[in-house]
Structure 1
Amino acid sequence: MNEGNLTKRQAQAIETKKQILETSMKLISEYGYDNVKISQICKEVGISVGGFYHHFKSKEDIIIEVYKEFDFLLENYINNNLNEECYIDKIISIILYQVSYAKKKGVDILKQVYKAQLYEGTEFFISDERKLSQILKNTIQCGQDNNEIIKEFTATQIKDQLLRFSRGILYDWCIHNGDYDLLNETYISINLLLNTMKNK
């Protein structure tokens, strides 16, 4: 939507939604997700509970909305910072960027992301239309076209395996309560996995 064409009411709604998101994340960071109530968020923002539900279905919906930011940031990162010539290295960079974002958000938020994936945000998180899914698939396809990556499996099949891997290591980091170096362990594991996909 072109912001220049917004009505005053539409602009106000966008600003209110932004305030709800920012206030929610501030409170969650300070008190923990389970300790923050919707009524507390509303009080901080200065809206009614009904006003909250006009923008979000639940507290879990906030987590999903915040995490959608990642796809936008990833696309920007790919367009402006991904300079590796080797497609295997590009895949590694994409996965490391994914886990870096999760680490930055923190274990508590990531745990809630997984809960939201199970109950509220399944459609978004596993959608083939997600930028993460599309970017990864396109990178794999280019790697196959360049004879860097095996062609015994389709780009979609390889993409699905890589996303299952990244979700798995993030889940493992959560159940270990973030007590190991996520980036280092991801780097080791993704290299081991991609070694099986290299065209010898």
Structure 2
Amino acid sequence: MYESALRLMKTKSLEDIKIGEICKEAGVSVGSFYNHFETKSDILVEMYKRADSYFDERYKDGSNASSDARDEIVHYFEVYAQYNQNLELETIKQLYTANNKLFITKGRYMQKTLQSIIEKRQLAGELDNELSYEYITEFLFIAARGVIYNWCLHEGNFDLPKMMKQYIERLIITFRKC
């Protein structure tokens, strides 16, 4: 049902998709839908769970200790951009609304992973520890979402991971230990 909803979201907004359409596309009954989801909005929640699972798989053994702080954080956001690009433009456009409060949900795996990277690099003396790792994480995510939103505004007409890399490389300089 989730995959069916994603396919339908390529042509119209989740708000305009009827639960019956999702079920028809998936070849299941409406009752089956309600056994998995309470509302259509839970499809978005599922997206975020899958993103967290993706990052769990990529980072479960820890991050690349051999690289420096800049390289490790830039790589993290390249992975983030690639994940978004793989979901495809029309799907991502539906996430980037002021009504989507899932972006600011605290304690998600993706956030904890980045916080861990930043905290480790602060303890190693590579990043400024005057600012909390929570603050730096939020700051970087706000910037990264801005890059993705800009990609949406430009109809995906640029390489998202490449632009994310360039943007985060410049931004991370502000958090380096002087």
Do Structure 1 and Structure 2 share a fold, with TM-score over 0.5?
Answer: yes
2:77 equivalent in structure 1: 95
Gap change, CA 1:100 and 1:85, over 3 Å in 2: same
Deviations 1:4-42, CA, capped at 9 Å, x for gaps: xxxxxxxxxxxxxxxx1122223334x444664321222
Q: 2:91 aligns with which of 94, 109, 112?
A: 109
> Helix, strand or coil for the counterpart of 2:47?
helix
The alignment partner of 1:61 has SS state of helix
Deviation, 1:151, is: 1.7
The residue identity in structure 2 corresponding to 1:108 is: E
Using the TM superposition, give the Cα deviation of residue 54 of structure 1 relative to its aligned residue in structure 2, in angstroms. Answer: 4.0
Structure with greater proportional helix content: 1
Q: State the Cα RMSD in Å.
A: 2.2
Q: Is the 1:56–1:62 contact (alpha carbons within 8 Å) kept by the matching residues of 2?
A: yes
Distance in 2 (alpha carbons) for counterparts of 1:81 and 1:26: 33
2:105: which partner in 1? Answer: 127
Secondary structure, counterpart of 2:175 in structure 1:
coil
Q: TM-score, normalised by structure 1?
A: 0.77
Q: Does 1:56 align with 2:37?
A: yes
What is the one-letter code of the residue matched to 2:133?
Answer: A
Instruction: Give the conservation status (yes or no) of the 8 Å contact 1:23–1:45.
Output: yes
Q: Secondary structure at the match of 1:196?
A: helix
TM-score normalised by length of structure 2: 0.86
Counterpart residue type for residue 41 of structure 2: E
Q: Which moved more, 1:140-149 or 1:45-54?
A: 45-54
Q: Give 5+ residue unaligned stretches, structure 1.
A: 1-19
Q: For residues 32 and 58 of structure 2, what CA distance do their matches in structure 1 show? A: 34
| Percent identity over paired residues | 30
Q: State the alpha-carbon separation in 2 of the partners of residues 32 and 146 from structure 1.
A: 48
**Map 1:141-152 → 2, pairs under 5 A:** 141-152=119-130
Aligned length in residues: 176
Aligned to 1:170: 148
1:78 match? 59
